[in-house]
A = this chain, B = another copy of it.
Amino acid sequence: MTTPEQQAEAPDRIWKAALLVIGDEILSGRTQDRNVAQVALWLNLQGIRLAEVRVVPDDLALIGEAVLQLKARNDYLFTTGGIGPTHDDITVDAIAAALGVPVVIHPRARAVLDEYYATRGGLTDARLRMARVPEGAELIENRVSGAPGIRIGNIFILAGVPHIAGLMLEALSNRLEGGLPLLSRTIGCWVPESEVADLLRETEKAHAGSQIGSYPLFREGKVGANFVVRSTDRATIDRCIAAIGVGLTALGYQAFDEGI
């Protein structure tokens, strides 16, 4: 818990999260990951920055190593993947081993699965695997497929299927402590980014607390770029966007607002 005094001492504290994507199917190229962007956008709304991402295969030691490193240097760690009923679902085992705690059946998870499978053939041993958690864990609700997500300390263990991971994030919305959300605004222009490199660098330097990213566009034979200004302060962003707009006009270009 943070007291009001502590908050006043560190009003700009940045809360950081890491995401560990677990699964051979991402590293083989078979499956296009959707969870990085999904988790990133959700974290922004909670006032938490996605600070780093790793993708590791279905391997106990590699999952465990990444979990310990990422947990230690971030306020929160999210994982996606590897919590289903089959032999390649080893996320719970890997995290429990890394934390040095046993794997136990969570009674509430067992009850949820019992009810879910009552009309679907019953709770088999394979299905009961989805009630296994590292000892000391709480559940993250999943009102669709029965199998819950898992929270243990600052680690949040989510499903790999993006829409199920999304429902688990929804269940966590507004429940994690965060700071000021990172806001952003985009301005675009049909200008090669190399012609505005000085303008962007100087605008960022002149506005403390701003970050400006430049992302090239190639469309219908034309070259342009989107300029994304990020800050926790809306007024700073608006001043940067205005400065870039004025600078583009001075160089003979017409900006389009909000980018494309």
Contacts and interface: CB of A to CB of B under 8 A. Distances in A.
A204 interface: yes
Given A84-B214, A213-B88, A38 B44 contact: no
A36 to B, nearest CB: 6
A188 B155 CA distance: 33
Interface in A186-212: 192-198, 200-201, 204, 211-212
A93 interface: no
B195 A121 contact: yes
Interface residues of A, number: 66
A99 interface: no
Interface string A222-233: 000000101000
B28 A38 contact: no
A33 B31 CA distance: 12
Contact of A126 (B62, B197, B216): B197
A141 interface: no
Interface in A40-93: 40-41, 44, 49-58, 62, 84-88
Given A36-B55, A88-B214, 18 more contacts: A26-B37, A27-B49, A27-B50, A29-B36, A29-B39, A29-B50, A33-B37, A84-B194, A86-B201, A87-B197, A87-B200, A87-B201, A87-B212, A88-B211, A88-B213, A121-B192, A124-B194, A126-B195
